[in-house]
């Protein structure tokens, strides 16, 4: 991994304009590590943006330094260049207007006149000279950002930072460390390459948030001595541990706790306890006054409290009469792969699908998908 970190250091050092990309529905780890990268690039005096397609900042993440900097669309990827030959006809005045969605550019010559042959229009250079992708197992996991800008990805160097075994190694530089509990751990190692003096309270808080979120507050079996050592160092550098714990784990409303209780009451386990799931109907949501946006937090608690569980899911009735399935998994598994037959949205850690039928149909589908997936990964 050290060679890849060194290569990433050299690419970042040479770059001027960097775009940091997160997968669709990014995990807390992806958000936090992306913000840490923003703060690093700011200290390096680079121009940067951080983008996740259709991103909406959860209220529990407002405390993160620079959290409002994450954008939901990648714009201004490439300039369009209009060139006018003024060697024989110098310009006196330039103006423009927009009428009926048409941009009109007016050139007033000092003498003579311009002809069509004097004007050329060509695509300009790309705005960004480096892409940093975080917690993205593949380019398609970036969603519309990749789909709408495929040529940009083809022509621009990519640093791919991830900790999932299923990563497709799509970067020119791939820092993929499956031993790390989180992307934030890897970003910490990259930060060290630039010198310890760059680590401050804000970067440390973001990185510690990513590590705490992926280890479920160090309660999950995925926590390692290395993650604990890094966390200790981040706290010594000013990381606000109490803020992190309060916002991630102590902000659950009564409605979420009530819905969690209903989910726990119906919890079932299969595959020797590797997979646990529950079912929720419309009555559960109405009585608790919660909604499906609260389900990821409930899955977090299930994953921590169901000993030995590596995959957790909830099948639920939606307000539109359809069935929703949401799956969360530990980093050794891929939630998107589990639901791949139904075109899921999300990422390797948390994925969702919507299907027709009754809740029993969704349960049957889910169990068959998980059985098939576990059989494929244990061959």
Q: How many CB atoms lie within 10 A of CB 228?
A: 14
Task: List where CATH 3.10.310.30 sits in the chain.
Answer: 254-377
**Predicted confidence band of residue 314 (pLDDT cuts 50, 70, 90):** very high
Residue 112 has a pLDDT of: 83
Q: How many CB atoms lie within 10 A of CB 155?
A: 10
Arch. (CATH architecture) of 254-377: Roll (3.10)
State the Cα–Cα distance between residues 156 and 128, nearest whole angstrom.
8
Q: What pTM was estimated for this model as a whole?
A: 0.80
Residue 329 has a pLDDT of: 87
Class of domain 2-74+127-248: alpha beta
pLDDT at 379 over 70: no
Interstrand relation of 350-355 and 268-270 (parallel, antiparallel or unpaired): unpaired
pLDDT (average), residues 59-81? 87
pLDDT (average), residues 233-242? 93
Residue 92 has a pLDDT of: 85
**Predicted confidence band of residue 304 (pLDDT cuts 50, 70, 90):** confident
Task: List where CATH 3.90.1640.10 sits in the chain.
Answer: 2-74+127-248
- Mean pLDDT of the chain, nearest integer: 89
pLDDT (average), residues 30-54? 94
Q: Crossing angle, helix 295-305 and helix 254-265, to 10 degrees?
A: 50
pLDDT at 202 over 70: yes
Residue 324 · residue 316 · CB < 8 Å: yes
pLDDT (average), residues 190-202? 90
Which residue, 206, 232, 238, 205, is CA-closest to 218? Answer: 232
């Amino acid at each position: 991994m050290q060679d890849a970190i060194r290569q990433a250091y050299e690419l970042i050092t040479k770059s001027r304009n960097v775009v940091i990309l997160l997968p669709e529905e990014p995990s807390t780890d992806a958000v936090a590590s992306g913000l840490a990268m923003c703060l690093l690039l700011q200290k390096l005096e680079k121009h940067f943006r951080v983008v996740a397609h259709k991103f909406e900042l959860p209220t529990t993440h407002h405390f993160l330094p620079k959290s409002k900097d994450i954008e939901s669309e990648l714009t201004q990827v490439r300039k369009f260049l209009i060139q006018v030959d003024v060697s024989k006809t110098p310009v006196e005045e330039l103006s423009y207007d927009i009428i009926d969605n048409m941009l009109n550019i007016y050139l007033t010559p000092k003498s003579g006149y311009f002809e069509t042959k004097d004007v050329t229009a060509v695509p300009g250079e790309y705005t960004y000279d480096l892409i940093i992708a975080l917690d993205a197992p593949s380019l398609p996991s970036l969603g519309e950002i990749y789909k709408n800008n495929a040529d940009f990805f083809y022509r621009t160097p990519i640093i791919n930072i991830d900790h999932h075994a299923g990563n497709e190694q799509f970067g020119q530089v791939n820092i993929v460390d499956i031993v790390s509990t989180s992307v934030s751990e890897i970003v910490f190692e990259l930060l060290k390459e630039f010198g310890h003096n760059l680590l401050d309270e804000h970067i440390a808080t973001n990185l510690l948030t990513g590590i705490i979120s992926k280890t479920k507050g160090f309660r999950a079996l995925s926590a390692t001595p290395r993650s604990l050592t890094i966390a200790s160092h981040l706290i010594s550098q000013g990381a606000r541990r109490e803020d992190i714990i309060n916002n991630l784990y102590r902000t659950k409303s009564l409605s979420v706790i009530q819905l969690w209780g209903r989910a726990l009451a119906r919890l079932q386990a299969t595959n020797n306890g590797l997979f646990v799931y529950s079912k929720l109907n419309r009555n559960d949501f109405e009585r608790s006054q919660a909604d499906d946006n609260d389900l990821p937090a409930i899955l977090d608690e299930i994953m921590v409290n169901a000993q030995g569980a590596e995959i957790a899911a909830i099948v639920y009735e939606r307000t539109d009469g359809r069935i929703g399935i949401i799956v969360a998994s530990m980093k050794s598994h891929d939630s998107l792969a589990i639901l791949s037959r139904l075109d899921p949205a999300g990422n390797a850690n948390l994925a969702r699908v919507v299907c027709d039928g009754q809740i029993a149909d969704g349960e049957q589908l889910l169990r068959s998908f998980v059985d098939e997936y576990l059989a494929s990964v244990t061959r």
